[in-house]
Amino acid sequence: MKKGIALTLLTAGLAAAQTPAFEVVSVKHVGDQQSNAVQTGPGSFRSNMRPFKYTPGTVSCRTTMMSILTEAYQVKDFQIQGPDWIKQEVYELNANMPEGTSKETARLMLQKMLADRFALGLKRDQKEFPVMLLKEIPGTTKLEEVVPAPAQYGYSAGMDHLEANPGMPLSALASNLSRAAGRPVLDETGRKGMFKIKLQWNAEPPRPEGGVIHVGADTGILSALGQVGLKLEPAKRMMDWLVIEKVEKEPTEN
């Protein structure tokens, strides 16, 4: 029995030692989403957060803990159960890795960083989710691709509009629709690349939630999807479910 226990511990130790890790990594807590947003006009905001960027030898971002988790484990935010703060607190990550490291390996490095620097502990399961599917209206000619696809994209959003600059992936649009739809929205258009998105609708009077007005909560955006040849359909999907059992808000020092 003792030999079996010793062998198990040794195997676990070897597995941990073989987990790929960044050569150098800096991660800092830089406030929350509100402190990382700048108001550019009535009901319009610009965020100084940055999505994940991979180069042959680096990975960087300035984003929420939720976004780091979804990137590391390749799931959507609705597939993660954890403390509320992971959706709001923002972190800046800059890491070096051997040139030629694949994104798949880099994501394993992100998982190790989360365990080492934030004491992350989680368990995996499967769960059926009610979702909405973003689909292209058959025969539409309104959806316009941006060619060549830009290296980066941005968008402006307000209470009554959303406009991409110069375009955005439809998966990113789907993510922006989830609050208004009241359930997760998945991109099932099958269209890759960047697309021109300009939506305008008559907004309802804003209703604060807990004293906060959320941009993107107005359901008028859903009826505006036809302006770019898109629609939503209800469905159910069996998907991964990650339960965060432990995670620290402040990372250990660099």
* Domain definitions of the chain by residue range: 19-126, 128-237
pLDDT at 8 over 80: no
Cα 210 from chain centroid? Answer: 23
pTM of the model: 0.65
In the chain, the largest separation of any two C-alpha atoms, in whole Å, equals: 70
pLDDT-derived band at 44 (thresholds 50, 70, 90) equals: low
pLDDT in tens, 98-131: 999 999 999 999 999 999 999 999 999 999 999 9
The 3-state DSSP class for residue 133 equals: strand
Q: Answer whether 193's CB lies under 8 Å from 146's CB.
A: yes
pLDDT at 239 over 80: yes
Q: What is 134-179 written as a DSSP string?
A: EEEPTT-----EESSPPS--EEEE-SSEEEEES-B-HHHHHHHHHH
